[in-house]
Amino acid sequence: MTYTKPIFLVLFLPLVVIAYNLIPQKHRWKVLLLASYAFFWSISGKLLVYLLVTTGLMYVCGLWLNKKQNERNEELKNAEKAQKKIIKQKYVKKQRVILVINSLILLGMIVVLKYSKFLGTNINSLFQIMNLPIQMPIPSFIMPIGISFYTLQAISYIIDVYKEKIKADRNIGRLALFISFFPQIMEGPICRYEETANSLYEGKKTTYKGLTFGIQRILFGLMKKIIIVDRINPLILEIFNNYSNYDGGIMAVGMILYTLQLYMDFSGVMDIVIGIGEIFGVKMPENFRQPFFSKTIAEFWTRWHITLGAWFRDYIYYPVCLTDKCKKLTSWGRKKIGNYYGPLLASSIALFCVWICNGLWHGSAWSYIFFGMYHFVLILLGRIIEPLVKKINNKLHIDNKNFLYIIMQMVRTTILVFIGELFFRAKGLKAGIDMFTNMVSNFSLEQITNGTVLKLGVDIHDFIIIAITVLVIFVISVLKERGISIRESISKKNVVLRWSLYYMLIIAIIVFGSYGLGIVPLDPMYANF
């Protein structure tokens, strides 16, 4: 069961919405929790135990931290000024122990389940290179669905309790629902406790506006998924599986269409997830903000998978920057190389940690590490050359707010993103390098102009319908970028226009959707990470 399957949309979701609204408000959270566990069970079965262990650990460690904080506060009340610092330090150490225990168990689970095969294979390769006659047995585990997402939520909760941004929750039901809420468990968004826990637990009745807005958003997501993602899938499979049969032009087509597919798939699922949240009166954080309008790679990552980027920023980037060693490095750097490049030394270390983690978070393979390092280098280079670019622009009297200049920056950023996604999708790092080399050294439009591209599972009609849908989404993105809320604007129009638009959307999905006999829909792509 996934969010785009009929069993979920036609049966599971309506039943949960009906049950949720029929039950008294104080028990509604139980419906959501039960539905969430049923959803998890339907995909991962007994692996639900990992989710339960994570929930239990959050609960226990949260209360443990809270207890220590209360004890500290009690001691501080009666302490003299000179002692206060010592007491605080004593309790910081105690809390750190709890934080480390919690993080080791949570990260230990994900490392064993997700990375042991990768680590084992690489250690064995190392033994081989060193001519050592040792081979480690390589374990292989089945991962529970969404472990990469809910583990980050669990860690953020405990760190926020540790930092006293939030109070530890004494209600294990609320905590369990926050970590397992079924629309977000597969692909996020990675929510913070203060964003969703209370509204989930509150059990607000579904309103007419929430229902209609939610359904609209779900339909918009389905349009992306069914019309674009599933329709271009045969072409992408063919190009990435048999890349040696094609010239550089086809490689470029595959690279562009894969990026389009990934964006439409992930953002489409997010539309469905956020739409479901709206039906239950829960405002979930947005995960995309027109990423292809980014002027730099750094900006791109503040618009693409926003909640993951924000998590890395808050729980890796800033903590690394604020370590004593990094602070010292910054002070030293300021003196030696100035106020711009000085802080860049420490921030580049933090940035490196973020991008290693980002790469590994996406998967346990060298291609993902390369993907992370690729973006690290691009962002770092961007920061290093920024003053130089400003100087050149000033000299050449180039206005960086000029429309054409901005378009050029967007195109450049998009091309860099395309290249990164090529390596991301390729079957291993070697295949990625081969495809990229083929694209550059063997670039030709022959297989595009002679019609080969139309014989790879996507015909001219498919391309036309994909292009029209992309155009519609582009126009909507432009309006959103200008701060116009499309759904609010539509809701103010007269009923004929409003309903006509809804009918057009529904009919477009039914007529132009890629479903039915012989079509295998693609499972949500980010659910595998």
Residue ranges binding another protein (CB under 8 A): 5-7, 10-11, 208, 459, 461, 499, 502-503, 506-507, 510-513, 515-517
Closest distance to another protein from the beta carbon of 524 (Å) = 17
Q: Measured from the CB atom, is 392 or 507 closer to another protein?
A: 507
Q: Measured from the CB atom, is 206 or 393 closer to another protein?
A: 206
Closest distance to another protein from the beta carbon of 295 (Å) = 39
Of 4, 452, 476, nearest in space to 238 by CA: 452
What residue has token string 């309903």?
Answer: 499
Q: Measured from the CB atom, is 254 or 513 closer to another protein?
A: 513
Residue 7 CA to residue 326 CA, distance in Å, equals 52
Residue 342 CA to residue 320 CA, distance in Å, equals 16
Closest distance to another protein from the beta carbon of 50 (Å) = 25
Closest distance to another protein from the beta carbon of 206 (Å) = 12
Q: Measured from the CB atom, is 10 or 92 closer to another protein?
A: 10
CA atoms within 13 A on the CB side of 15: 12
Residue type, 413: T
Of 304, 308, 289, nearest in space to 357 by CA: 308
What are the b/e assignments for 157-191, b being 16+ CB within 10 Å?
Answer: bbbbbbeeebebbeeeebbbbbbbbbbbbbbbbbb
Which residues contact residue 301 at a Cβ distance below 8 angstroms, ignoring those fewer than 6 apart? 309, 375, 379
Contact 223, 504 (CB under 8 A): no
Closest distance to another protein from the beta carbon of 273 (Å) = 20
Max Cα distance, the chain (Å): 85
Q: What angle do helix axes 230-241 and 460-481 make, rounded to 10 degrees?
A: 110
Closest distance to another protein from the beta carbon of 233 (Å) = 15
Contact 12, 39 (CB under 8 A): yes
Closest distance to another protein from the beta carbon of 466 (Å) = 13
Contact 178, 193 (CB under 8 A): yes
Residue 445 CA to residue 401 CA, distance in Å, equals 35
Closest distance to another protein from the beta carbon of 316 (Å) = 41
Contact 269, 221 (CB under 8 A): yes
Residue 219 CA to residue 509 CA, distance in Å, equals 8
The beta strand positions in 48-156, using DSSP E, are none
Closest distance to another protein from the beta carbon of 215 (Å) = 11
What residue has token string 């294990």?
Answer: 172
Instruction: Please give the structure tokens belonging to residue 230.
Output: 């599933």
Closest distance to another protein from the beta carbon of 444 (Å) = 29
Closest distance to another protein from the beta carbon of 393 (Å) = 49
What are the b/e assignments for 316-352, b being 16+ CB within 10 Å?
Answer: bbeebbeeeebeebbeebeeeeeeeebbbbbbbbbbb
Phi then psi for residue 182, to 5 deg, are -60, -35
Residue 162 CA to residue 156 CA, distance in Å, equals 10
Residue 475 CA to residue 494 CA, distance in Å, equals 21
Closest distance to another protein from the beta carbon of 1 (Å) = 9
Closest distance to another protein from the beta carbon of 21 (Å) = 12
Phi then psi for residue 136, to 5 deg, are -80, 145
What residue has token string 């602070």?
Answer: 327
Q: Measured from the CB atom, is 166 or 505 closer to another protein?
A: 505
